[in-house]
């Protein structure tokens, strides 16, 4: 699909295409229309890796997860006038939830841990006519970011050693009275370990959503956390 891009985004796209076969794919979330840059030859890159068994080797950012689509639906349902304007997406990957929030009028910051991931996000944002902020964020290091009204993340609880650092990120970057929305495949075992850790400091809402696709049935757990 050919999309006219600003020169800076077009330059990033040319850089991405040196290493990946990519194209824009439309994603419609309610009345929000996004153009997401996605890798087209996923099978060749993943080489049979299992996102539940090969956690250390699996490039989680490279796939548009069912959980991300559910979280994008949540983002589309939020109103910055009532939720507060500042929204942070952690481990944003392809950025569907955060870009949806930006289209809804939120002041969005998309974060991840590698520049190549941010380049995908920047190109998708430009193709979708959106101007969120972007920032590299390592959960294990301190950050000078100001707190946010809302924090969101899809399929970010895949490493047990990052659960405590993530809780520290929440404590530092969530405004008083703010909310956290998380979405994960029900099969992700670290999700349950995280919720056990979080329950002392947060009220946790749980909702299970079934999705059916060509790959079969997936159950996504949606959580809303608010500090006690």
Domains of the chain listed by start with CATH number: 7-227 (3.40.50.150)
* pLDDT > 90? residue 57: no
State the pLDDT at residue 1: 75
Of 171, 163, 177, 173, the C-alpha closest to 137 is 173
Residue 105 CA to residue 99 CA, distance in Å, equals: 10
Please report, for residues 90, 91, 116, 126, 136, the alpha-carbon distance to residue 16 in angstroms, rounded to integers and kept in the order given: 22, 19, 8, 15, 18
By three-state DSSP, how is residue 152 classified? strand
From the list 216, 226, 198, 209, the residue with the least C-alpha distance to 69 is 209
Q: Tell me, what's the pLDDT at 41?
A: 85
Angle, vertex CA 113, rays to CA 136 and CA 81, nearest 5: 55
Output the pLDDT for position 85: 98
- Specify the higher pLDDT residue, 46 or 166: 166
Q: Quick one: average pLDDT of 154-167?
A: 95
Cα–Cα distance measured from residue 32 to residue 143, given in angstroms and rounded to the nearest whole number: 31
Displacement of CA 86 from its chain's centroid (Å): 15
State the sign of the Cα–Cα–Cα–Cα dihedral 34, 15, 139, 175.
negative
pLDDT tens across 125-156, in order?
999 999 999 999 999 999 999 999 999 999 99
pLDDT at 212 over 90: no
Banded pLDDT at 60 (limits 50, 70, 90): confident
How many CB atoms are located within 10 Å of the residue 133 CB? 15
- Residue 182 CA to residue 70 CA, distance in Å, equals 10
Percent of the chain with pLDDT over 70: 99
170-192: average pLDDT: 96
pLDDT for res 215: 72
The widest CA-to-CA distance across the chain, in whole angstroms, is: 50
Question: What are 30-52's pLDDT values in tens digits?
Answer: 999 999 999 998 887 777 777 77
Kindly tell me if the per-residue pLDDT of 75 is higher than 70.
yes
Q: How many CA atoms lie within 13 A of 19 on its CB side?
A: 8
- Measured CA to CA in angstroms, residue 215 lies from 65, 94, 132, 218 at distances of 12, 20, 32, 9
- pLDDT category at 54 given cuts 50, 70, 90 is low
Q: Is the pLDDT of residue 157 over 80?
A: yes
**Does the structure show a pLDDT above 80 at 61?**
yes
Q: Return d(Cα 182, Cα 64) in angstroms, integer.
A: 15
Question: Of residues 69 and 2, which shows the higher confidence score?
Answer: 69
Give the mean pLDDT of the chain: 94
């Amino acid at each position: 699909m050919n999309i006219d891009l600003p020169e800076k985004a077009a330059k990033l796209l040319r850089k991405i295409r040196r290493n990946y076969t990519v194209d824009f794919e439309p994603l419609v979330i309610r009345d929000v229309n996004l153009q997401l840059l996605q890798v087209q030859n996923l099978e060749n890159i993943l080489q049979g890796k299992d996102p539940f068994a090969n956690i250390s080797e699996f490039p989680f950012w490279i796939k548009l997860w069912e959980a991300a689509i559910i979280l994008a639906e949540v983002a589309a349902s939020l109103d910055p006038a009532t939720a507060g304007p500042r929204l942070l997406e952690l481990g944003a990957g392809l950025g569907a939830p955060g870009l949806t929030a930006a289209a809804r009028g939120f002041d969005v910051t998309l974060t991840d841990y590698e520049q190549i991931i941010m380049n995908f996000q920047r190109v998708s944002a430009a193709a979708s006519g959106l101007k969120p902020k972007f920032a590299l964020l390592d959960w294990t290091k301190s950050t000078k970011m100001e707190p946010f009204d809302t924090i969101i993340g899809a399929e970010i609880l895949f490493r047990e050693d990052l659960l405590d650092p993530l809780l520290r990120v929440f404590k530092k970057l969530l405004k008083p009275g703010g909310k956290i929305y998380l979405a994960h495949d029900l099969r992700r075992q670290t999700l349950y370990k995280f919720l056990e850790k979080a329950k002392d400091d947060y009220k946790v809402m749980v909702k299970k959503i079934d999705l059916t696709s060509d790959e079969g049935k997936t159950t996504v757990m949606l959580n809303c956390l608010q500090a006690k």
